[in-house]
A and B are shown apart, each in its own frame.
Chain A
Amino acid sequence: MILGYLGAGALLAGLVMGGFSALLSFWAGWREADVFIQVGRRAFYAAAAMTGIAAVLLEVALLTHDFSLAYVVEHTDLSTPTPLVAAGFYGGQEGSLLYWTLILGALGSASLVASARIGARVAAYAAGILALILSFFLFVLAVVASPFDLLSITPADGLGLNPVLRDGGMLIHPPVVLAGFASFAIPFAFACAALLAGRADAAWIRHTRRFALLAWSLQSAGLLLGMWWAYHVLGWGGYWSWDPVENVALMPWLATTAYLHSSQVQEKRGRLRNWNFGLVILAFLLVVFGTFIVRSGVVPSVHTFAISAIGPWFFAFLFACLVFSAALLAFRAGTFRVHVEPAPAVSREGGFVLQNLLLIGVIAVVFWGTILPLVSGMLGAERVVGAAYYERAAGPIFVVILALMAVGPVLPWRHVGAPFLRALRWPAAAAIVVLAGLLVAGVRSLPALLAFPLSAAGAATIFSEYGRVLLKKPWIILRKRRRYGAYLAHLGLVVVVAGVAASHFGQQEKDVTLQPGQTVTVAGYTLTYTGSDQHQLQDHTDFVAVMRFGDRTLEPSRATYAGLGGQALTHVAITTTPTADVYVVLAATGTDGSASFRVFVNPLVTWIWAGGAVIILGVVLGNVGERSAVPELARRRVPVTLPA
């Protein structure tokens, strides 16, 4: 009870501090009043601290089973294991918003601490924008969807967590995804602040580089963890289904990926200024759009979300962000026209631009697929698209991006010469070898014949770049670790692509009903059903089928929860061989000891997880200990053309 009052109070106090910080920061930034700029910044820290206190209070309420709070009742019960009780913090609508606000407050504070060096006015405006965003979330939390709402009668026990979510994935996937979303507000705030202050230089990019990288890494990890979780828990044999929830997480990732590449053009060559502003704004708007879609239930999805009153508020927020950033771009971007000598189309700049345009193309495809039910519903009959649409529309674009990945890293800035063409011999050779191998093996599907050779070419490019520097000056790798870390991330992505392509084109499945002793063969893998076992546990009955696969034992099982209206929960059994995953789902059990299975053979799925780890490793290794302060453009001599 007392925790509820304290928590609600902390949120209100945070809201007041946030609003104060926003107003003061904008005013002080406009007047360039240094003292007040600092006060505004400190008010932001205070708002963030209040959010932190609210978060601690909610966590305490959860862990102490304070069932006077509706949120605690709805998401936990006494039998829920403690780690999952703690995870209840971000497990529900209100709590996940609080978690988001917490991350925004913490990272926002971190980004403001050293912000004065990029200019008092930009720093003040950035604080103001961050404070506005924080205040919006605190307002929703305090007024519309409070995690501290009290029940009039305190029940003896809570309702507990759905069994599908009683899983380790619950502990890690949601917080990573939400943190990835929340952290992109920081590049957005600084980009808008630079626009507002009329600063066209790359200072805001350098200042928020770490936050953009952090956001991208978290989003990447969040997507991969989500895929991993779906694959290991949901039991339909796949990891991606183009559901709106997945799409709205993918789109900001694509936009952030585009930004990480194009921002280098501005840092190194001073170009693409307006484009970078636009991309950062796009990425943030996509985050807000995704949050709106996910939490309002406006598009049909297999996930029905806890529908609450926050939908309209997020729509209003999205609209406000859209108008604000469009106005900023329209009124400010034109003033940054600079006259630089245009670069040739075939150059690293050109490659980045092409990659950006292609990524935006993919975003357009995914966006249209996601909102089609909304648009068609307004115009008449509601229509939806399935995986076939995304594959047909985005597939060709992905192929071009993949080809670009093989060429891009060896494209020089500004000027292309003979060394570039020579550098292409390795990827070309790799692609031809793999293509020949596939043709000999009898592969005739065009998408597969494009995906694998191009992945091989991408990998060959990275290996040849590493090989070149290792043979000549290996220490360069450490000095230019940002570049070689990025190459490592490229390599990881190519491995992911190979895994996705293999499991997509090569998946085989079979439904069978077996008596004990019978065998089934799928794609050359033979499984023997040896019998089954039944365990009566505290709150559920576990039915375990035992299958022999070589010298390994697979135990797919099915739990039935009597307390939840007989809801069943399947535990998939997966075993990994060097070339494929054997994935067994226990579909049903007969009274005569027979059991029905769905058996999948998914080639190279492990490559996806391994590649994902390499991506993250590349980003981390490339940026650990990097001093971000000295701008490279300033250090380098800019060649000046003198009249002859």
Chain B
Amino acid sequence: MTMALRWGLPAVVIAGCVGYLIYSASGGSSEYYLTVSQLRAQAPAGDVRVAGVVQNDVQKTEGGLHVRFTEKDGTASMPVEYTGTLPDIFQPGITVVVEGRLGGDGVFHARTLLAKCPSRFSTQPYTQ
């Protein structure tokens, strides 16, 4: 057996397996990452992630574990419902990424809610 074959064959087999794993896993579990207006324009089937800014109408019920608020980007907005613990920095004005789907009632039912860290390190950029 030549060197090329000894090296190439296992490498090709493993590359093939890895390629298949990547292909099958990313086909099954990738989601669209949209802004609110993009979601309004075209709502894809299945779960999506939507980024937007939390508006000043946060309502908490069930001891704070259930939350309802409006998420907005430049032009479009949508109501969001979420049940679960909220990130520490959750408050009106911050950007959140919600993962879930837009229901027939026009409300986005979020499965997860992630807050964008205001910044990794500083509270806000200093402006003079």
Contact = CB atoms under 8 A, between A and B. Distances in A.
Given A372-B26, A393-B22, A306 B65 contact: no
Given A302-B114, A345-B6, A358-B14, A372 B30 contact: yes
Interface stretch (B73-81, B101-109, B115-123): B115-123
Given A381-B32, A388-B29, A396-B21, A159 B63 contact: no
B25 A389 contact: yes
Nearest to A236: B85
Contacts of A304: 95, 116-120
Nearest to A340: B3
Interface string B29-73: 111111000100000100001010000000010111100000000
Contacts of A364: 18, 22
B108 to A, nearest CB: 17
A384 B124 CA distance: 27
Report the interface size class on chain A: 35 or more
Main secondary structure on chain B at its contact with chain A? mixed
B119 A162 contact: yes
A86 B10 CA distance: 51
A159 B117 contact: no
Contact of A74 (B31, B34, B86, B122): B122
Contact of A164 (B64, B88, B125): B88
Interface string A430-455: 00000000000000000000000000
A1 interface: no
A342 B18 CA distance: 26
Report the interface size class on chain B: 35 or more
A588 B63 contact: yes
Given A365-B21, A369-B26, A596-B62, A569 B122 contact: no
Given A162-B121, A393-B26, A381 B88 contact: no
A155 B116 CA distance: 28
Nearest to A88: B121
B9 to A, nearest CB: 10
A236 B84 CA distance: 10
Nearest to B23: A393
A482 interface: no
A587 B63 contact: yes
B57 to A, nearest CB: 16
Contacts of A389: 25-26, 28-30
A393 B88 contact: no
Interface stretch (A198-206, A518-526, A559-567): A559-567
A53 interface: no
Interface string A588-621: 1110001110100000000000000000000000
Contacts of A152: 128
Contacts of B116: 302-304
Contacts of B119: 162, 304-306
Contacts of A368: 22, 26
B64 A587 contact: yes
B85 A397 contact: no
A283 interface: no
A488 B84 CA distance: 41
B64 A589 contact: yes
A383 B22 contact: no
A140 B126 CA distance: 21
B63 A594 contact: yes
A565 B93 contact: yes
A235 B88 contact: yes
Interface string A543-570: 0000000000000000000001111111
Contacts of B60: 588
A373 interface: yes
A270 interface: no
A302 B128 contact: no
A385 B30 CA distance: 4
Given A306-B121, A365-B21, A585 B85 contact: yes
Contacts of B93: 565
Interface in A52-81: 70, 73-75
Contacts of A567: 88-89, 91
A169 interface: no
Contacts of A585: 85
A160 interface: yes
A587 B125 contact: no
Contacts of A49: none
Contacts of B30: 372, 376, 383-385, 389
A429 interface: no
B50 to A, nearest CB: 11
Given A383-B31, A392-B28, A598-B85, A153 B18 contact: no
Contacts of B10: 345, 353-354, 357
A404 to B, nearest CB: 12
A300 B116 CA distance: 10
A511 interface: yes
B17 A361 contact: yes
Given A70-B126, A392-B24, A590 B121 contact: no
B49 A384 contact: yes
A342 B63 contact: no
A93 interface: yes
A513 interface: yes
Nearest to A294: B120
A93 B63 contact: no
B116 to A, nearest CB: 5
A346 B66 CA distance: 57
A383 B29 CA distance: 10
A598 B88 CA distance: 14
27 contacts: A74-B125, A75-B121, A151-B128, A162-B123, A164-B89, A165-B121, A302-B97, A302-B114, A302-B116, A304-B95, A304-B116, A304-B117, A304-B119, A304-B120, A305-B120, A354-B14, A361-B17, A364-B22, A365-B21, A365-B22, A381-B44, A384-B49, A385-B26, A389-B29, A392-B21, A568-B89, A588-B60
